[in-house]
């Protein structure tokens, strides 16, 4: 049985990445006391998390501003030892919009695993603002150039084979 975590409340929470654009690994990381939890997530999940956090905050009259970004405070903490890979995420709020709950469920692996791991991370409004600002920054910071023909990202080192060219011609850089 995979481990389950309940951090209520977190002392700190972030969504960040390690590595070069195109080769990054994304994480949600939270700390409560001396315990540091890291979960592997997909880039699309971090993007979704930033967008949904902003929507929930807007509902309670809070707008995430560029001034809310504190990149130094939100960077991932070493050592990054992931508990497991996330399959699904959800984000919600209490009635007052003061506390927010990020729930993660482990990606289903093999058939022998009885129950997937779960993590429930309770955070304040300010913590969610900080995480949303940094998550949006991380997504934008890793943006690669796109092919003008097909719109797919271009790897800076190897280029890419463009389907719009049917595989003919040199790699697009």
CA dist 145 and 160 (Å) reads 11
pLDDT surpasses 60 at 141? yes
The side-by-side arrangement of strands in the sheet containing 118-124 is 5-7, 118-124, 99-106, 82-93, 35-41, 25-32, 12-18
Architecture of domain 5-142: Roll (2.30)
Return residue ranges of the chain for CATH 2.30.31.
5-142
CA 93/CA 95 separation, integer angstroms:
7
**pTM attached to this predicted model:** 0.82
* Count of all residues that appear for the chain in the document: 173
Distances (CA, A) of 26 to 44, 59, 145, 173: 10, 27, 20, 25
Q: How far is CA 77 from CA 29, 65, 71, 112, in A?
A: 8, 24, 12, 32
Please tell me the predicted confidence (pLDDT) of residue 147.
73
Model confidence over 41-85: pLDDT tens digits? 999 999 999 999 999 999 999 999 989 999 999 999 999 999 999
pLDDT of 157 > 80? The answer is no
Give me the chain's average pLDDT, please: 89
Separation between Cα atoms, residue 171 and residue 157, nearest integer Å: 11
Phi, psi of 46 (to 5 degrees): -65, -40
Contacts of 19 (CB under 8 A, 6+ apart): 25
């Amino acid at each position: 049985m995979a481990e389950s975590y309940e951090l209520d409340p977190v002392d700190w929470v972030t969504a960040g990445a390690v590595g070069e654009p195109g080769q990054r690994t994304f994480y949600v990381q939270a700390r409560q006391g001396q315990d540091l939890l890291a979960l592997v997530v997909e880039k699309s999940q971090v993007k979704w998390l930033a967008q949904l956090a902003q929507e929930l905050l807007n509902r309670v009259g809070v707008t995430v501003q560029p001034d809310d970004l504190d990149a130094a405070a939100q960077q991932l903490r070493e050592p990054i030892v992931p508990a497991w890979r996330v399959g699904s995420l959800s984000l919600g709020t209490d009635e007052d919009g003061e506390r927010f709950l990020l729930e993660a469920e482990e990606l289903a692996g093999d058939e022998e695993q009885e129950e997937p791991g779960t993590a429930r991370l309770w955070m304040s409004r300010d913590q969610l603002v900080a995480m949303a600002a940094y998550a949006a920054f991380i997504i934008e910071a890793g943006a690669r150039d796109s092919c003008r023909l097909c719109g797919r990202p271009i790897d800076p080192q190897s280029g890419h084979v463009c389907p719009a060219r049917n595989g003919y011609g040199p790699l697009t850089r």
